Structure 1
């Protein structure tokens, strides 16, 4: 079975890159981040290379200098992001695509992540982290995915487990939990391999 999957988060710093590394390892997939905003000396593509050696990395369509939403970072860098820039790489392998931020993050002032995701027709995995407010952010993200008729594979939870949060999200959404990633002191290839053996797609 061929997999081309978009990894979205319920917000910023939810663990999308760790989840993406696990998926690339589990599925022997390539990796692509369409837009990298900030941290150009240690990009998410660099992290994937370290955590999942051998993964084919497709170059970002845009590398922006500021750690901001793509529309703001592009404005500062005097770059215009065109829809045609965001063509999915051609590959015979499985492919994991990591969004920059959450679903409602603007790529341009007139074009959001969710618009691009819906246009691709590809399925989404949502990464949720345990923090105060994550129930609301997770359920709103799932509601949006449903409203846009986007194929949905399930949720990856990240961080110190909160059973109250987990239970209400699963009960209210009916979504599938693909994996629970515990809070790790460090992320390395061994950690990625351990979780790759557990994920259930």
Structure 2
């Protein structure tokens, strides 16, 4: 089993778009892929027509899977209605989630799949966004210890946000596999300009994905080669 974690330098920057594009690119290269988003906020009820625009629905479509109650639960078991960090969204519904539950669920999927499958786990919000009342996305990532793809936008301030997130990963001993710049609509500079600036400060590939573009084949090949082999 091989696996990679997709983290964000912030929220609403195209993380799901990148994850879905990567999933389609891996499948195009004849890779078996299982893409998961265990936590999701701002999600309409399953029966609501708007659910088809949710992150979970987008990721299931990228995998070529039908949109059913079973596939939704298998991809995103913790879904909350409020567009807030998961801890706050859960509290609004009188629910709670522990880091132990979240990590245990992910580990079961990592250990239970076919050896040739690449598992892609998408985080929620930014790297330091709270995921439970006591833990952040970084705590979640550290517990899984997976290679990380860091997604940033191209908006004003994105360079600082991406480098701060990359430095946080380095300081906590997490392996950064690549940085992806997803085009921000209305940004003052091009994604390529932002990527060039970030690339001068990180020792990993930095690639761009246009808002309506496809995942570069090079990124898919990098994930195939650099994702963690959990059976090694």
Is the TM value for this pair above 0.5? yes
* 2:227 alignment counterpart: none
Among candidates 35, 45, 50, match of residue 31 of structure 1:
35
Q: Does the CA-based 8 Å contact 1:23-1:29 persist in structure 2? A: no
State the distance in 1 between where 2:140 and 2:59 align.
23
Gaps of 5+ in 2: 45-50, 185-189, 223-232
Give the 3-state SS of the residue equivalent to 2:96 in structure 1.
coil
Partner in structure 2 of residue 114 of structure 1: 138
Q: Flag the 1:32–1:166 CA change in 2: closer, same or farther, 3 A.
A: same
**Following the alignment from structure 1 to structure 2, what is the Cα–Cα distance between the partners of residues 99 and 168?**
25
Is the helix fraction higher in 1 or 2?
2
* Contact preservation (8 Å) 2:191, 2:208: no
Matched, 1:65 2:93: no
Match of 1:77 among 88, 93, 96: 93
Give the structure 2 partner of residue 44 of structure 1.
Answer: 55
Q: Which runs of 5+ in 1 are unaligned?
A: 185-190
1:122-161 paired onto structure 2 within 5 Å: 122-159=146-183, 161=190
Matched, 1:174 2:203: yes
Aligned residue for 1:5?
4
Structure-2-length-normalised TM-score:
0.75
Deviation at 1:198, TM superposition (A): 4.7
- Could you say if the C-alpha distance between residues 136 and 182 of structure 1 is closer, same or farther in structure 2, counting changes exceeding 3 Å? same
**1:167 offset after TM fit, Å?**
2.1
